[in-house]
A = this chain, B = another copy of it.
Amino acid sequence: MTLPITPHPPLPDTLIEALQTRFGSRFSRGESIRVQHGRDESIHTPILPDAVVFAESTEEVVALVQLARVHGVQLIPFGAGSSVEGHILPIHGGISVDLSGMNRILAVHNDDLDVVVEAGVTRIQLNTALRDTGLFFPIDPGADASLGGMAATRASGTNAVRYGTMRENVLGLTVVLADGSVVRTGTRARKSSAGYDLTRLFIGSEGTLGIITELSIRLHPVPEAMSAAVCAFPDVDAAVRTVIQTIQLGVPVARIELLDTLSIAAVNRHSQTTLNETPTLFFEFHGSEAAVAEQAALVQDIATELGGRDFAWATRTEDRNRLWRARHDAYFACLQLKPGARAFPTDVCVPISRLAEAIAETNEDIAQVSIPVALFGHVGDGNFHLVVLVDPDNPRDLAEAEWLNERVVGRALVMDGTCTGEHGIGIGKAKFLVREHGAEAVAVMRTLKAALDPDNLLNPGKILPPLNAGD
């Protein structure tokens, strides 16, 4: 979708000179670099930043903020560029702050099960580095996102049902504020009652309140045993009811994922798997050998009673990895269902008791559009995604996608759910913010933004809807 881009003056020459002096070749106005930083994984039309700075330390981010604020130039933090709601688009112009060079793992505290990293470290990089420690970092959005970006969007993924989201797994942050000050939040203690929770204030703030440059993160012991399974169901409802019963019984399942028929077909084609093309749950169990066996047997009983069949187990590491790689590639697999298509992704999250109803009604909506729509997600949390495949040049496709998005979000909000479980607001979902939180809560969010970034320098136009835009 094409966005209104606010006309803005070019970067002042004095700023350009200062940035060239300070950052050398790590300050770029070249078109190819700007193109790389002018789009994310969303449907939104790319918007090129005026320049890109590749920052390599907190001190460099401070220097950049201080230069930019003198000139009133806006800054857009950029990690891996894998956001899906237009988070990194410079809709009012400005400089993209690329943090991917801040990719050092600063300290691994094996005994405390935590790690200190720079914001550009990605989740796969971190887990690779942890390979010999007996510890791992569980949060896995589809993309190999940066940890700074994952904190900024309050990301989660397939393991969140057991291990929580970035909200629960970040112990502390280093953040550069709009005034150039550096704030360190949290400690390495597991819990604290010492003052306002600044860590959680910045998590999910999408770069609008400060630029995250370092993170202390909780790790988890690699379980003694892990076992994964795939189970096919006659219909989505039977699969979802299996999920609901599993959660309500308190089974500490590590992953419980739903893929609908179209998603499975896409996965089979993309990943050369031979899964039954019918609604399917992917499970994983973590624990001791005995606990895993017990959990697995219990869930298999529930599934079988509800019509699940062809339970296929994967206990060898390589088989499990192949299974979860296929699951993680589902988004890209779906993209290939319609050649030349772009994905219009959306996600919502509802209370678990409403999940079956939410998905059933969504499927009725999907039946009314002409474009392919895949449905999958982290159903143990009540979170599911639509991947709506559109020709971005076809207004009817876009209108259908918008209609579906409106339907699925509106339904989630009526069910006391949220307009996004893990993607974030960006620009794509700002229009739902008041409907979800109410005018009073959004007014508080505006107050916080104005207090911490009075000149609106940091990622402007994200999260908060334009004033007077109604709902």
- A: residues with CB less than 8 A from B are 109, 111-114, 153-156, 160, 164-165, 167-168, 177, 181-185, 187-198, 200-201, 203-205, 209, 220-221, 223, 244, 247-250, 252, 287-288, 290-291, 294, 349-353, 381-383, 412-413, 416-425, 429, 432-433, 436-438, 440-445, 447-448, 450-452, 463-464
A154 CB, nearest partner CB in chain B, Å: 4
The 5 closest A-B pairs by CB, nearest first: A221-B250, A200-B200, A451-B451, A111-B353, A192-B418
B204/A112 in contact, CB under 8 A:
no
A237 CB, nearest partner CB in chain B, Å: 16
Q: In the complex, what distance in Å separates the CA atom of A139 from the CA atom of B434?
A: 32
Contacts of A413 in B (CB 8 A): 187
Select from chain B the residue with minimum beta-carbon distance to A443.
B181
Select from chain B the residue with minimum beta-carbon distance to A203.
B197
A394 CB, nearest partner CB in chain B, Å: 29
Counted per complex, copies of this chain come to 2
Out of B153, B182, B195, which one reaches A425, CB within 8 Å?
A: B195
Q: In the complex, what distance in Å separates the CA atom of A444 from the CA atom of B221?
A: 35
Out of B155, B183, B252, B352, which one reaches A190, CB within 8 Å?
A: B352
A183/B444 in contact, CB under 8 A:
yes
Q: In the complex, what distance in Å separates the CA atom of A165 from the CA atom of B194?
A: 13
Out of B193, B350, B412, B441, which one reaches A423, CB within 8 Å?
A: B193
A248/B113 in contact, CB under 8 A:
yes
A338 CB, nearest partner CB in chain B, Å: 27
Contacts of A191 in B (CB 8 A): 154, 156, 160, 165, 167, 349, 381, 383, 418, 421-422
Q: In the complex, what distance in Å separates the CA atom of A429 from the CA atom of B192?
A: 13
Q: In the complex, what distance in Å separates the CA atom of A197 from the CA atom of B247?
A: 25
Contacts of A177 in B (CB 8 A): 440, 444
A187/B416 in contact, CB under 8 A:
yes
Out of B183, B350, B422, B445, which one reaches A193, CB within 8 Å?
A: B422
A455 CB, nearest partner CB in chain B, Å: 14
Q: In the complex, what distance in Å separates the CA atom of A191 from the CA atom of B109?
A: 28
Select from chain B the residue with minimum beta-carbon distance to A378.
B191
B445/A196 in contact, CB under 8 A:
yes
A391 CB, nearest partner CB in chain B, Å: 28
B441/A198 in contact, CB under 8 A:
yes
Given contacts A184-B438, A197-B154, contact A416 B448 (CB under 8 A): no
A418/B244 in contact, CB under 8 A:
no
Out of B181, B184, B417, B447, which one reaches A187, CB within 8 Å?
A: B417
Contacts of A204 in B (CB 8 A): 193, 195-197
